[in-house]
Amino acid sequence: MKFLDQAKIYVRSGDGGDGVVAFRREKYIEFGGPDGGNGGRGGDVIFRAVPNLNTLIDFRYTQHFRARKGGNGAGSDRTGAKSENIVIDVPIGTQIFDDDRETLLADLDAAGKEVLLCKGGDGGFGNANYKTSTNRAPRRADKGWPGEERWVWLRLKLIADVGLVGLPNAGKSTLLSVCSRAKPKIADYPFTTLHPQLGVVRLSVTEEFVIADIPGLIEGASEGAGLGDRFLGHVERCAMLIHLLDGTESSIVKNWRMIRHELAAYDENLAQKPEIIVLNKCDSLTPTQISAKKRALAKASGAPVFTLSAVSGAGLPELLRYVQDRVTETRQAEREATAQ
């Protein structure tokens, strides 16, 4: 299935049904009076987050959603039928923006979460609603109220605990493939990852976390170089970032600073997220080279640096255990904050 994380669609709720003018006419009933019923309510447009979707590709082929009009009223005080609502299923993590692409209307970040985006129009009153002691035979009935319509943008931000960032060919896809059951494309040329990938890392029956791999960043990504930085939106919800660095590169500190600059250029809040620095491809380095590059990174970042060989698995258990502990601490803090 092709990955699509952005789509523009048109939604319109149903108009209300019309009220009617009617009078009761039956044999032996001399003064039947008005009995025109009210119109039915138009259908609403509701968005719902469901767990079995992970792309917005369906909205490339279906872009217009219209709810039905409510039924018209009828004689004998019969109210028109209420139209059914339209429920649009979207992946968890979908944000709904107004047509200006800046005004956030809803954020469906949990399974089952729903939002009423366009409310259906109310039905119009029939003439029975207007009868009074002084107006015994009203001939007034109202049209149904119109529904709401709007163009909206859907933007998907994947839900993951940990995000993988780094230069192309740093080994992000390889790491994802060895620590989860995900099967990303792996090759010896840059930009093999063209869209985000998710994987579930399970350390035990009760311990697991979701990791997200995004296309690599290069210098100038915030200005459109390479694949740009739009995919960084998929790691905005992550509790922490794993910054993977190719240990075979000579300018290791420069590369780290460049990626940090691109993160800050995209969103300062993203750059402030906890970062785990990992020196990858250490199977191609000597112990002296590993020690020197590890010290240089630790001095520049002020944070601990993990060493890893994603191909051989050296250093992987220690890294995953550290990440799982941090994820568990974050979840506990969130639960305590929610309880308060």
Binding residues for GTP: 166-173, 191-195, 213-216, 280-283, 309-311
Q: Which value, in Å, is the radius of gyration of the alpha carbons in the chain?
A: 29
Locate 303 and state its tokens: 């944070």
C-alpha closest to that of 127 among 16, 36, 32, 38: 36
Annotated binding site: 166-173, 191-195, 213-216, 280-283, 309-311
- Which among 11, 33, 38 has a CA at the least distance from the CA of 23? 33
Task: Please give the Cα distance from 206 to 102 (Å, whole number).
Answer: 39
Q: How far apart are CA 183 and CA 199, in angstroms?
A: 9
Binding residues for Mg(2+): 173, 193
Q: In this structure, are strands 149-156 and 94-97 parallel, antiparallel, or unpaired?
A: antiparallel
Q: Are 274 and 239 in contact (CB under 8 A)?
A: yes
- Of 92, 89, 125, which Cα lies nearest the Cα of 107? 92
